[in-house]
Chains A and B, each alone.
Chain A
Amino acid sequence: MGEKAKGFFVTGDPLIYGADVSIIITLLGILIFLTYFKKWGWLWREWLTTVDHKKIGIMYLVSSLLMLFRGGVDALLMRMQLAMPNTHFLQSQHYNEIFTTHGTIMILFMAMPFMFALFNIVIPLQIGARDVAYPFLNAMSFWLFFFGALLFNLSFVIGGSPDAGWLSYPPLSELAGSPGPGQNFYIWGIQISGIGSLATGINFLVTILKMRAPGMKLMQMPLFTWSVLSSCITIIFAFPVLTVTLALLFVDRFFGAHIFTATGGGNPMMYVNLIWMWGHPEVYIVVLPAFGIYSEIVSTFSKKKIFGYKSMVFSMMIISVLGYFTWVHHFFTMGAGADVNTFFAITTMAIGIPTGVKIFNWLFTMFRGRITMTQPMLWTLAFIPCFLVGGATGVMLAAAPADYQYHNSYFLIAHFHQTLIGGVVFGYLAGLYYWWPKMFGFKLNDRIGKWAFWTWNIGFYVCFMPQYALGFMGMTRRVYTYGWDMGWAPYNMVSTVGAFLMGIGFVFQVWQILYSIKHGERDLTGDPWNGRTLEWSILSPAPHYNFAHLPAVKSDDAWWDMKNHRYGAAVQDNIKEYTPIHMPKNSGIPFLMSACWFVAGFGLTFEWIWMGVAGLAGVGICLLARSFQRNTDYYIPVDEIKRTEASLGRVV
């Protein structure tokens, strides 16, 4: 116990002390701000207890951008260490911690919440609904994610970060390989936020299936909605696997079981299989919604209907199913045998087919259209070549015997960054620029945005193209240093320069947001891009209840159809009498219950059983309290709707 207390605060590294100081200053700053401006009540009523999907979306967005910053700083630290051979900037241990947290944060605490931000902000508006199917659960999901991420991030100042790689293969992640609390932070941070992810998957599946505006058939749904549907189906099947896997790992570590340790009759290969049964579908979970975003944007800014709608839907559904049959390609080199390797090589190549088809459909949406180069469109156009090359290197990796040469090399690193940045990040950023006016009522500045776009993009290629070459030169991932003898130095230097360019791109974006809050072009119409789907039929930002009247949908591209083909009828719909709107009440329980989960996770991380039990008891009490709550909903009276609509500038 004494030794544990000694290791409680991470000591000995000036970088960490710097972080300690800045964390304390930031926290103090926030506390003083809230107290001085008497904002505590506002924070509680408007944000901490909200069940409004739009506000939850914004909280997801802010968290994910913060996590992008942290994961990005991790990346830059790694690139600084690797810029030159034999650098002593980071010690091996510190480097190992940083690449572990970089990967975990970027996938689970950056990509996932960024994606959920867009789900939350867009989906109810796009299908003409007033909230998600389970608003309380939605708030629960966010706070579970938030406290899970908090727990994970705490590890670098308290207890020490995990250092066994972002997927933590045993035996390295077992007690013998990683004795400290770092690995427990990893397990509990992911477990707690993972419950939230699973709940979000269920929530949006039900929302899309049950809450669509009257008349909207499945095959009339916008493609972003389809992509979210396919992503949610994948979440529902994949995340339980992750939860079980990490639970078993914890059983190994906490109770001394041998599920994944060969020495006691277990098998680490079992873990590797299980984690990738979640891990591979996971990359499709994050990329499918990006495909949906591109589809919306390409169609809007080509002023043309999306090409091959059915083909698009079909290919996304194939991807979400086929995504379950490719996991072994992450360990072709584990000696599963020629039969198994051949099977998974071919399924992996096959998944490239529907993905490729989507690219052709986007191209032919633009073909004979009229393309305007707005910011969302720029990111979409940058995505196509980037993802095309990333996909091609993916097919190359799928050829199992070729993979024996690429596995764990920088070729692999370059490949997955190209698909995850070029596919996922570019997609979410495109979506961010596209739906920003809908969230906040103003556009993001164009000029600064173009600077951000070009530094990001040039930076990307400068950073990752040399890494393909490094892979061919035999450089393996996760080495904290290398010598002059291999000729890797110049390529690494170039790669580091590229990483910093991308960092500058991010700084431009932060500046762009701050600048646009003051000077951004206001969106008074609610339809700044001449959009095609229902979210553009209401004003920006959307009122609390979204739609004063639920829209009546008659075709695909519902809003386009209303604007251009049946304007009179749509206006008729809108001048009907208002009726009171049924809405869910705010609740503090999601926040409190997730905080209890945090306490439980923290206790179990340090194996302080009393604290774990207390936290779990708190969770139980919150569940009980919720089940006795009867008064959970209310009606917005007609007067208030009239007032709101009038104040938003809509003529009643």
Chain B
Amino acid sequence: MSKRFSSGRLWRVAVLAAGLLVFLSGCDRRYLIFNPSGPVAEKELHLIILSAVLCAVVVIPVLGLLIFIIYRYRDKPGNKAPYTPEWNDSKILEFVWWGVPIIIIGILGVYTAKTTYSLVRPPVEDVKPITIQVTSLDWKWLFQYPDQKIATVNYVEIPAGVPVQFHLTSDQMMNSFWVPELGGQEYTMPGMAMRLWLQADQPGTYYGSGANFTGKGFAHMKFKVVAKPQARFNHWAKQVKKTAPVLTEAKYQQLVQKGLAEKQTYSSYPEKLFLDTIDRNGGKYMKPGMKHGGHDMSMMDNDNE
């Protein structure tokens, strides 16, 4: 009887878990991580699901076993279950519960390694990627487009279907650049340029935020990533070039002051601004390798780790 009790419970838990997973993965747009909109986020979601399933393989039976044991071996008068107070060792059982987790971790380890290595390469190889330089400031985001020579604050536009290599640095505190629907995050650190590949498959607007605490205005460091078809992106860039004001050195110094900022658009920026920011924040003391090739931008595209 107790056996049926436990296996019934087990099934219910399994069905519930499966149902929950379906619910989470499709129905609700609010679960950003379950709605990947690019190859990077997709790869990461696959790994998340694989790891969750592998963990469930252990967790669910153990929970069932726990309930069964508590029920079966409770100290009630007349409990006929066997009682072996001196039994304390079993080579076979020990072998099983050392062995099974090792196998599971082995499988997960292999997939983790594969995904880790694949994420340092561009998401697709046959499309020419673009570069966007990101600087986290207190408390706003500055985006520079070295190919278009334009700049934006607190929003970023990218062409859909094109891999984007974000070069990340910080002109104050250490933050983290995160666009959950496009992929995982990477820290922005003073004196270095980190690199992060992301790509949006479809046009759309995606939520982005700073993920590492930087003080008073941190909660407001949100930005939108707007993905557009290549042609419309080009058009937008041209418009900006024509109509937007210039980001001067003086204007940049205003941006650096602690405080919040509205969305802004600039038709140009001081040419070496990104590299100067890195150098001024300590990049000049770093070995080129530590700066991840911050000086020589041509190196960055073929020297990924």
Contact = CB atoms under 8 A, between A and B. Distances in A.
A276 B6 CA distance: 42
B203 to A, nearest CB: 20
Contact of B113 (A305, A309, A342, A398): A342
B83 A360 contact: no
Interface of B: 24, 30-34, 41, 43-45, 47-48, 51-52, 54-56, 58-59, 62-63, 65-66, 69-70, 73-75, 79, 81-90, 93-94, 97-98, 101-102, 105, 108-109, 111-113, 115-117, 119-120, 172-174, 176, 178, 180, 183-187, 189-192, 194-195, 207, 209-219, 280-283, 285-286, 292, 305
A384 B32 contact: no
Contact of A262 (B44, B115, B191): B191
A10 B191 CA distance: 35
Given A341-B116, A368-B73, A404-B185, A268 B190 contact: yes
B109 A262 contact: no
Nearest to A476: B211
Contacts of A363: 62, 65-66, 69
Given A263-B281, A308-B94, A402-B47, A482 B219 contact: yes
Interface residues of A, number: 92
Contact of B34 (A338, A472, A480): A472
Contact of B74 (A261, A311, A371): A371
Contacts of A267: 191, 282
Interface stretch (A138-146, A327-335, A508-516): A327-335
Contacts of B85: 303-305, 369
Interface stretch (A66-74, A213-221, A349-357): A349-357
Interface string A242-265: 000000000000000000011111
Contact of A352 (B30, B45, B105): B105
10 contacts: A171-B172, A346-B112, A349-B108, A357-B97, A360-B62, A364-B90, A388-B62, A400-B115, A473-B31, A474-B209
The residue among A96, A172, A337, A352 with the most chain B CB atoms within 10 A of its own CB is A172
A331 B94 contact: no
A269 B290 CA distance: 11
A351 to B, nearest CB: 10
A399 B47 contact: yes
A305 B81 contact: no
Given A338-B120, A487-B30, A402 B44 contact: yes
A632 interface: no
Contacts of A389: 59
A35 interface: no
A307 B88 contact: yes
A333 B52 contact: no
B13 to A, nearest CB: 11
B59 to A, nearest CB: 5
The residue among A339, A345, A395, A402 with the most chain B CB atoms within 10 A of its own CB is A402
Nearest to B62: A388
B218 A353 contact: no
B253 to A, nearest CB: 16
B93 A364 contact: yes
B73 A302 contact: yes
Interface stretch (A53-61, A184-192, A405-413, A533-541): A405-413
